[in-house]
Amino acid sequence: MTRKSVAAPGHAGGQTLLELVVTLGIVGTLASVAVPSFSRLVLDGRRATVVNDVVTALLLARTEAIKRRQPVIACGVRDANGNGVLEPAERTCVGHDWSQGWVVGAWQDANRDQRVDAGELTLLREHLSDVPGIAVRAGSFMATPAVAPAGTAIVKPFGQRSGNGTITVCDRRGPAHARGIVVAGSGRTRVASQRAGGGPLSCP
């Protein structure tokens, strides 16, 4: 004959209030640890996406400069009307701010004024950024002579010195989590988390 298990008098089969409170406390503690970690992973992923996109653009510029044997420009652009499409009039260098996107184009300085004027770029790639909360700012690339507008990266053919400088990618966490895309005079790029001489990068 099978014996049935009987609960002791005064003891309910479910959880007591104390057990429920302890369980909720444990769940709350785990959530307080997990949520910031997940948020950090999301921010890291967004930053990495933008950094990789910028590096890809600069690698294209270097490859095309060597192949075409002429200077290639990478510069920031602005979607002035906010329609998510880069119109022909918007495919022009805007300066230091690359946050909305950038273009890569072979450059023929027709009037020899060292300024990237309308009609002087043969567009090779355009990129409008769709990653929210990321600021991208280019420094004043050191080139001889300097190329205008400031914040324009010029990559020259093999054997000629390109403009060197840094493009900084930041999110709401500030300089401690920023990344810098460092462009050497040879046109090569590397990603850094600090300035060349040490210390945090600058965020807008």
Domain CATH code at residue 94: 3.55.40.10
pTM of the model: 0.80
Q: What is the mean pLDDT of residues 2-6?
A: 51
For 23-70, the pLDDT digits (tens) are 777 776 666 665 568 788 999 999 999 999 999 999 999 999 999 999
Classified as helix, coil or strand, 35 is: helix
Q: Per the domain annotation, does 33 fall within a domain?
A: yes
Nearest to 151 by CA among 75, 79, 52, 202: 75
Q: Per the domain annotation, does 58 fall within a domain?
A: yes
Number of domains in the chain: 1
Q: Per the domain annotation, does 199 fall within a domain?
A: no
Tell me which residue range forms the domain holding 179: 17-192
* Alpha carbon distance 26, 126 (integer Å): 50
